[in-house]
Amino acid sequence: MVRNYEVRRQYRMLIGGQWVESASGETLATLNPATEETLATVPFGTAADIDRAVAAAREAFPNWRAMEPRARGKLVAELAARLRAEAERLAYIEALDSGNPVSSMVGDVHMAADLMEYFAGLAAEIQGTTMPLHGGMNYTLREPYGVVGRIIPFNHPIYFAASRIAAALVAGNTVILKPAEQTPLTALEFGALIVDVLPPGVVNIVTGDGPRTGAPLVAHPQVRRIAFTGSVETGREILRAAAEQIKVVTLELGGKNPMIIFPDVDVEKAATTAVNGMNFRWCQGQSCGSTSRVFVHRALHDQFIEALVAGVRQIHLGWPTDPDTEMGSLVSREQYEKVMRYIDMGQREGARLLCGGGRPSGPEFERGYFVEPTVFDQVTPDMTIAREEIFGPVLSVLVWDDEEELLAAVNGVAYGLTAAILSVDLARAMRWAEQVEAGYIWINGSSRHCVGAPFGGQKQSGFGREEALEELLSYTQIKNVQMRYRLD
Ligand code: ADP
Ligand code: MG
């Protein structure tokens, strides 16, 4: 049971341990996408607020850095425990602000806490190396960068807000977090837990949009490292802006991820795996890791689409705050219109609409950005819906019979984030795993992440790895010290 929690109408943002308005006094409204009504307002942070946040983060840095990594880890673990204790309330606010189903958002909170605990435990892995040197030794130190800017998207707001600052903190950096303009509330709610656990200024949360809030954060000369999760277009802009100061950047961007189905698998199970892989039930398919291009072998095709459509029809669309809801509303009118344009384009380019394709019917769906789970068949690799990321509940089925052509089609997109390979022949699946251009591959599975396994992309899906030791180390820079025992 999830009960109704109260949501404040006006929020402030967190700078230097204080709850503050924006310097300009401007605010930004965030909607409940299921009702299209304003849910609350948050400060509209601009360059002046980024300056304040950077000053606070810089002030907090020396003491934070001076702590032993394990001591920082303990505080991050404490924060994870408080997050878990608030899971239901945060998930409820998340459902209101993002349109994601409340039950899956409870899962997101716990997943974020899992990662925080994982990074807390990794604190002792911040290690260097030593090398012999005649009359001395050579050793390395892994040092934090200083102030890190963390920019996150709207699809998993609390998950990203909590999980994606943990490594930077354990490594000894102080952080400025910039949540997405569509979904700023849970990050601010998380801020209320942060002020009880971390020293002031170690984490600052500045709300606002991309151009006026995110861009000055990226451009700030005292922000030494930027980590970004979001669209390719914005990633490109951030990389360009960061070039000015040779700033270290990692990018986790979009995907147009393939699922490859070989004819030796159980067709019903393959269909279930394809439905799960599309993340309809997690965030209405608004996920960079969704396997949205399903390549099914011709021998299975007819049975597969029958099972797939039956599976998709079982998805329970409903009010995001209803605990039984499996699929809620898209996050904004902009996303809704974008998804509808792609659905229209799919039909015009000759794909066959198998199910969905519009707004669900019923009085509860008269408002809000609800879109039915949608499946296209007879999609070909040249079609727009097979090449571009839709970031919504639209799955494309492509049929294959020749392995060479299949590989060309699978790798023939600009993205390379995830891929799924379904086959009982593990030798073949492993060979394919080597050939597919993607950073994260499932063999006989889809969608699930594994704490400690490196997540990230190839090609235009970005670079850098998260959720693993690599993420922790990416928030450190190596310093080499060449030491002789005496001067002679
Ligand atoms: P989408 O909203 O399509 O997921 P974006 O990549 O535009 O993708 O947004 C992800 C995050 O990046 C949001 O927090 C947004 O405010 C921020 N953002 C957008 N444009 C910029 C920019 N030019 N510089 C820094 N951050 C930006
Ligand atoms: Mg909102």
242 lines ligand 1 (CB under 6 A): no
Residues 293 and 400 in one domain: yes
In this prediction, residue 2 carries a pLDDT of 54
Residues 445 and 472 in one domain: no
Question: At residue 337, what are phi and psi to the nearest 5 degrees?
Answer: -70, -35
- CATH classification of the domain holding 152: 3.40.605.10
Residues 204 and 86 in one domain: yes
Domain that holds residue 371: 258-451
255 lines ligand 1 (CB under 6 A): no
Compute the distance from residue 474 Cα to the ligand 2 centre, in Å: 31
Assigned domain for 486 exists = no
Residues 389 and 338 in one domain: yes
Compute the distance from residue 181 Cα to the ligand 2 centre, in Å: 8
Assigned domain for 484 exists = no
Alpha carbon nearest to ligand 1 atom 18, residue: 210
Assigned domain for 381 exists = yes
Assigned domain for 3 exists = no
Domains: count for the chain: 2
Residues 331 and 446 in one domain: yes
Alpha carbon nearest to ligand 1 atom 24, residue: 215
Compute the distance from residue 105 Cα to the ligand 2 centre, in Å: 14
Residues 299 and 195 in one domain: no
Instruction: Report the alpha-carbon distance of residue 74 to residue 80 in Å, rounded.
Output: 10
Residues 151 and 235 in one domain: yes
117 lines ligand 1 (CB under 6 A): no
Residues 400 and 275 in one domain: yes
- CATH classification of the domain holding 443: 3.40.309.10
Contact 91, 213 (CB under 8 A): no
Q: Among the atoms of ligand 1, which is closest to the Cα of residue 179?
A: 14
Compute the distance from residue 59 Cα to the ligand 1 centre, in Å: 27
252 lines ligand 1 (CB under 6 A): no
Assigned domain for 1 exists = no
In this prediction, residue 488 carries a pLDDT of 85
Residues 313 and 202 in one domain: no
Assigned domain for 485 exists = no
Alpha carbon nearest to ligand 1 atom 21, residue: 210
Instruction: Report the alpha-carbon distance of residue 147 to residue 52 in Å, rounded.
Output: 13
Ordered strands of the 476-484 beta sheet:
130-133, 136-144, 476-484
Compute the distance from residue 186 Cα to the ligand 2 centre, in Å: 10
Q: What is the pLDDT along the chain (488 residues), one digit of tens a residue?
A: 456 898 999 999 999 999 999 999 999 999 999 999 999 999 999 999 999 999 999 999 999 999 999 999 999 999 999 999 999 999 999 999 999 999 999 999 999 999 999 999 999 999 999 999 999 999 999 999 999 999 999 999 999 999 999 999 999 999 999 999 999 999 999 999 999 999 999 999 999 999 999 999 999 999 999 999 999 999 999 999 999 999 999 999 999 999 999 999 999 999 999 999 999 999 999 999 999 999 999 999 999 999 999 999 999 999 999 999 999 999 999 999 999 999 999 999 999 999 999 999 999 999 999 999 999 999 999 999 999 999 999 999 999 999 999 999 999 999 999 999 999 999 999 999 999 999 999 999 999 999 999 999 999 999 999 999 999 999 999 999 999 999 98
* Catalytic site positions: 252, 288
Compute the distance from residue 315 Cα to the ligand 1 centre, in Å: 30
Q: Among the atoms of ligand 1, which is closest to the Cα of residue 230?
A: 6
Residues 26 and 164 in one domain: yes
Assigned domain for 8 exists = no
Instruction: Report the alpha-carbon distance of residue 240 to residue 246 in Å, rounded.
Output: 10
231 lines ligand 1 (CB under 6 A): yes
Question: At residue 102, what are phi and psi to the nearest 5 degrees?
Answer: -60, -40
Contact 327, 283 (CB under 8 A): no
In this prediction, residue 107 carries a pLDDT of 98
215 lines ligand 1 (CB under 6 A): yes
Assigned domain for 358 exists = yes
Residues 383 and 435 in one domain: yes
Residues 182 and 46 in one domain: yes
Alpha carbon nearest to ligand 1 atom 13, residue: 180
360 lines ligand 1 (CB under 6 A): no
Residue 35: nearest ligand to its CA? Answer: 2
Residue 95: nearest ligand to its CA? Answer: 2
